[in-house]
Chain A
Amino acid sequence: MAEPKHGDSVKVVTRDKEYFGILMPRPAMLGSEHAILKLDSGYNIGISNKKIKEIVLIKASEPRVRKKVPLKKYPKLPTVLILSTGGTISSKIDYRSGGVSADYSAEDFVEMLPELKAIANVRASKPLSIMSEDASPSDWSLIAGEIAKEIDTVDGIVVTHGTDTLHYSTAAASFALQNLGKPVIFTASQRSIDRGSSDAFMNLLCAVRAAAVFDFGGVATCLHATSSDDYCLLIRGTKVRKMHTSRRDAFRPINEKALAKVLADGNIEVINPHYHKRHDGAITLKNSFEKKVALVLVHPGMDPGVIDYYLEKGCKGIVLSATGLGHLPVNNRKHSLLPQLKKASKKGIPVIITSQCLYGAVHPFVYTNLRRVSMEGGGIFAEDMLPEVAFVKLAWVLGQATDYETVKRMMLESVAGEINLRHLDDEFLT
C-alpha cells in the first residue's frame, strides 16, 4: 500500500490507541518528533512519533478542482492591472497540503472582492512571489520594468507587496518611473487574506479605486489610515514609512501630509494637492540601481571599521542614518568617523547624511560638530529625506551617474517629491 501523504485520510495506530483523521504537513523547522493529525472535529493534535506503530492510509486526498468563471469586460469601466509580488497580502495557505493555494489571477481577486467588478476591469499578473524582506535592488528593477511595460495599456496599476520593505520599493519605483502619467498604487496587508478580518480587503479595494479613477500621475501607497476599516491614506512613495511592526495603520506619511484619503465607500478626498496629475506624456524607465551601496546606522560606541569595511569592499556610496540633526562621533578618539569620511571623500565616494529621528531635516551648520561632518568630512546633508529613501535614491543615482559632483547635485534635488524644504506644524506624528 502507498505511503500516506499529507492531506490523506489515515488511521494512526499508537501503542494504546487509534486515531482517525487527515495527515497534516509539518514545517521542518518545528522538528520531527510529532506527526500532526486533523481529527474529525477539525482540531489538530500532535502525536509523538515514538508512540506511533503505523499510519494506515484510508483514503488518498483528491486534488481539488476549482472552477473559474471568466470575467466579463465592461468597456465603460477603467482597466486596472494588479501586479502581485508576494508578501502577507498574498499569503494564503492550503491547510491540507501546506502549499499556497491561489495563483492571484484576476478571477481570484474578483472572487475575493466582488465589489471590484463595479470599479474596474481587472487584469492581473504575478511577476514575483517573495516576502519583502527578501527583496533586493534587482527586484526593484523588475517591478519598475513590469510597470513601464504595461502602463500604456491600462488606466492605473496596483502593486501588491510585502509590508516590511514596501517603502524601499515605492521609493525605487518613484525614481525609476520618470514622467509617470498614471497612478501606480502599492498596497499590502498586515493580516493575511485567509482571515475574515484582514486589512487586505479594504486596502485592495481602495488601491484599485485610486488606480482606476484618481487624477494622479505618480507612485503612492494605499493602506489603512486608522485601526478601523474606515479609510485608507494615499501617501507619496518617497515620503512613507512602516512605523509599527503589526498595526493596520503602520504606514505613515513622514515630513509631509498624505496626498488623499480613499474612503471605504469609494470617495477620494484630497488632503495635500502637491502632486502631479494624470497626463499622456511618455514614461521614461530608468531602472538600473547600483548594488554596492550601504546604509549604516550611527550609534554610540560604534566601530569606525564598519565604514572601512564598506570602502574596502568597493562600495560606491554610503548613507549614514546619523543622530539628531546629522551628528556622528567626531571628537571621540576611538569612535570618531571623521577619518573614514575623509577617506571616502578622497576616493570620491559620496557619504549621505540623514537622521535616524526620521522626522525633521538634517542641518550641516547648526553645531560645530555638524560643520566638522559637512565641511571637514564632506558629508552630503540630505535635508528631510528618510534614510531608506536616501539609500534607494543613492543606488538609483549611482545607476545613472558616477561623477561625484553630479551624484551630489542629484542627491540634493527633489526628483520624486523625496525632499521637502517647507515643514508644517501638523505633519508630525500623524
Chain B
Amino acid sequence: MMDYRKLGFRCGLECHQQLEGKKLFAESPTLNSGAEPTLSVQRRLRPVVGETGEIDAAAAAEAVKNRSFTYKGDSADVDLVDLDEQPPRFLNHEALKTALQVAKLLHMEIVDEIQVMRKAVVDGSNVSGFQRTALVAMDGFMETSQGKVAIPTLCLEEEAAQKAESSDSSVTYRLDRLGIPLLEIATAPELVDPEHAKEAAEHIGMVLRSTGRVKRGIGTIRQDVNVSIRGGARTEIKGFQELRSIPKVIAFEIERQLSAIKKGEKIEPSVRKAEPDMTTSFLRPMPGAARLYPETDHPPVAVTWEMLASLGKVELLSEKVLRLESEYGLSPQLAKEVLEIPAFAWYVKRFSRVEPPFIAAVLIEIPKEMKSRLKLDASKLRDEHFEEVLSYLDAGKIQKGAVIELLSDAALGNNMDISRYAAASSEMLEKEIDAAIASQPGLTIGAYMGIIMGKFKGKAEGKVVMEMLRKKV
C-alpha cells in the first residue's frame, strides 16, 4: 500500500450534475434526445480583447486555427436562445431552488445576490462564445470517513454543446445538451488517498440525488479529479465512466508521475482523459484562470428570505436508508434498493395489512428471483401489476407464496387469475398432510414440508403448514 501522505498527495474533485426540468435560460425541455438534427447554422468565433486589455493566449491559439463551427439541433429542444439569436430568459427558478437545496445539504453559505457571469469558451462548445455560470454558494463541507472535506464553491451553469464531429477546418456540435442546468461542486484538495476520492464522489452523488431533481443515466453526472504529488504537476482527469474506476485511475496517474520524476522528466500541468483501461491520456494543457465577465443580459438575483424558506427540508438518501431500516425493519441492502422506488412509501400506507419488509421484497427481491430462477423478463412488470398483487395480499385473498406465481403470469402477459392460487383451507391442508404421512411414513418434517408446499404451490402459507406438521410428526 502506497503512503500517499508521504508523496505529498493532493487531490480534489469537481462534480458536474445535470438537472431535470427546462433549460437554464430558455423554456426548452431538456431531452438529451439525440434525435436526427433538423437545423444547422455555421458560425465563427473571434478572440476578443479581455479585461486586461489583452487577447487570451488560448483564445488566440484557437483563432489561428480559423475553424468554423457547425451547430445542429432539433426544434424539440433547441430554440433561439440556444442559437444565440435571442437573449437569455430569466434564470430557471426550479434549477436555482435545487442548487440552493444542495448548498444547504453541503452546509454552504449562500451568496446574498447571485450574479450571472459569462465564462469565455473558445472551443465553440457554447454558441455564444461563453458559458453562463453563477456562483451560488461558498465555503461548505461534507463529513467523510477521513474527516471533514471543504466544499469551497457551488455553481449553477449551462451545460455545453456536445461535439459530434471535428476536422482541421471545422467542428460540428449538437445543441440538445446545450443549456441544460448543471451544478458544479468543487471540493478542496483535501482528499487523502484514491479511495477517499471515490468516497467523496459517491457522497456528492448521493447528496445530489437526494433532491430528486437530477438527471440519471450515462453522461448526466461527470467527475473531474485533480491530482498532484510533490515534484509532479497538477493533472486534471476527466471522463470517468464510473465511480468505481476513480481509485485505480488516480493510482495509475500517480505511478505515471512517480516514474517520470524518477527519470528526471519534467511534468507539465495538463488535462488528461480517463481511458477504459484505467490509464490516462493527454487531452490539452491546463487552461489559465477562467475569464469571467458579467452577463449583462441578466439582472442579479437576490436570494430572498422567502426563497430560502420555500426550500423545505430535503432528506439525504443516506438518512432515508437509515430511517427505512429502523422504521420498517428492512435490511440495509433492501432499504437502499427500495429508495429507488418512489411508490414504496405509498404502498406501505395503502396496504397496511402487509408487513413493509414483505412489500419491499415484492418490489425488489421477487422480480430478481423471477429473473434468476424462473428466467422471466421481470422488466415487463409495471406499477399496476405490483399494486394488484399487493391489494390481493392486503385483502387476504392470496397467500404470500402466490405473489411470485401471479407476477410471473403478469410477466408472461397473462391476467392475474387468483382463483388458481386461492388460499387452501385448513381442512384441505390437514387432509393432504395425513395422506402424505400415510403414504410415505418416517420422513423428516422438512421432507413433508417440501411435498405439501409443492402440491399447494402458492396456495398455502409455509408457517401454517409447518405448525400443522409439528403437531402430527
Of the candidates B80, B112, B114, B122, the one whose C-beta lies within 8 Å of that of A196 is B122
B112 touches A45 (CB 8 A): yes
B48 touches A194 (CB 8 A): yes
Indicate the size class of the contact surface on chain B.
Answer: 35 or more
5 nearest CB pairs, A to B: A46-B113, A196-B129, A42-B292, A197-B129, A43-B135
Given contacts A36-B115, A196-B130, 12 further A-B contacts (CB under 8 A): A34-B113, A34-B300, A43-B292, A44-B117, A44-B135, A45-B138, A195-B128, A195-B130, A197-B43, A197-B84, A245-B86, A247-B80
Measured CB to CB, the nearest residue on chain B to A230 is: B42
Identify which of B59, B111, B299 gathers the most chain A CB atoms within 10 Å of its CB.
Answer: B111
Given A45-B112, A96-B51, A195-B48, the answer on whether A34 and B43 have CB atoms closer than 8 Å is no
B296 touches A30 (CB 8 A): no
A195 touches B129 (CB 8 A): yes
Q: How many residues on chain A are close to B (CB under 8 Å)?
A: 46
B363: shortest Cβ distance to chain A, in Å? 44
Of the candidates B112, B139, B290, B291, the one whose C-beta lies within 8 Å of that of A34 is B112
A43 touches B115 (CB 8 A): yes
A95 touches B294 (CB 8 A): yes
Of the candidates B45, B119, B302, the one whose C-beta lies within 8 Å of that of A46 is B302
Chain B residues with CB under 8 A of A198:
46, 48
Given A30-B299, A42-B289, A195-B48, the answer on whether A246 and B86 have CB atoms closer than 8 Å is yes
List 30 contacting pairs A-B, 8 Å CB cutoff, sorted by A: A24-B294, A34-B302, A41-B290, A42-B117, A42-B119, A42-B292, A43-B117, A43-B135, A43-B292, A44-B294, A45-B112, A45-B138, A46-B112, A47-B111, A47-B112, A47-B113, A64-B52, A95-B51, A95-B293, A101-B53, A111-B49, A194-B293, A195-B128, A198-B48, A228-B42, A229-B44, A229-B68, A230-B42, A245-B86, A247-B86
Q: Tell yes or no: B41 within 8 A of A by CB.
A: yes
A245: shortest Cβ distance to chain B, in Å? 8
Of the candidates A38, A64, A196, the one whose C-beta lies within 8 Å of that of B46 is A196
How many angstroms between the C-alpha atoms of A266 and B60 in the bound complex? 23
A195 touches B113 (CB 8 A): no
B87 touches A246 (CB 8 A): yes
Task: List residues 102-123 of chain B with CB under 8 A from any CB of chain A.
Answer: 109, 111-115, 117-120, 122
How many angstroms between the C-alpha atoms of A226 and B111 in the bound complex? 41
Q: Tell yes or no: A33 within 8 A of B by CB.
A: yes
Q: Tell yes or no: B83 within 8 A of A by CB.
A: yes
A45 touches B111 (CB 8 A): yes
How many angstroms between the C-alpha atoms of A227 and B134 in the bound complex? 28
How many angstroms between the C-alpha atoms of A188 and B367 in the bound complex? 65
How many angstroms between the C-alpha atoms of A64 and B291 in the bound complex? 18
Q: Tell yes or no: A48 within 8 A of B by CB.
A: yes
Identify which of B109, B113, B122, B135 gathers the most chain A CB atoms within 10 Å of its CB.
Answer: B113
Q: Tell yes or no: B47 within 8 A of A by CB.
A: yes
Task: List residues 42-72 of chain B with CB under 8 A from any CB of chain A.
Answer: 42-49, 51-53, 59, 68
Q: Tell yes or no: B407 within 8 A of A by CB.
A: no
Of the candidates B109, B128, B134, B299, the one whose C-beta lies within 8 Å of that of A197 is B128
Chain A residues with CB under 8 A of B111:
45-47
Write out, one digit per residue, whether chain B residues 151-171 have a CB within 8 A of any chain A CB (1) or not (0): 001010000000000000000
Chain A residues with CB under 8 A of B208:
none
Chain B residues with CB under 8 A of A191:
84
Measured CB to CB, the nearest residue on chain A to B290 is: A42
Chain A residues with CB under 8 A of B119:
42
Chain A residues with CB under 8 A of B306:
none
A114: shortest Cβ distance to chain B, in Å? 10
Task: List residues 362-417 of chain A with CB under 8 A from any CB of chain B.
Answer: none
How many angstroms between the C-alpha atoms of A207 and B114 in the bound complex? 40
A46 touches B115 (CB 8 A): yes
B398: shortest Cβ distance to chain A, in Å? 61
A193 touches B42 (CB 8 A): no
Write out, one digit per residue, whether chain B residues 251-292 have a CB within 8 A of any chain A CB (1) or not (0): 000000000000000000000000000000000000001111
B80 touches A246 (CB 8 A): yes
Q: Tell yes or no: A93 within 8 A of B by CB.
A: yes
Q: Tell yes or no: B127 within 8 A of A by CB.
A: yes
Of the candidates A24, A46, A196, the one whose C-beta lies within 8 Å of that of B120 is A196
Write out, one digit per residue, whether chain A residues 1-34 have a CB within 8 A of any chain B CB (1) or not (0): 0000000000000000100000010000010011
B153 touches A196 (CB 8 A): no
Chain A residues with CB under 8 A of B129:
195-197
Q: Tell yes or no: B319 within 8 A of A by CB.
A: no
How many angstroms between the C-alpha atoms of A30 and B296 in the bound complex? 12
Given A42-B291, A47-B112, A228-B42, the answer on whether A193 and B48 have CB atoms closer than 8 Å is yes
Measured CB to CB, the nearest residue on chain A to B120 is: A196
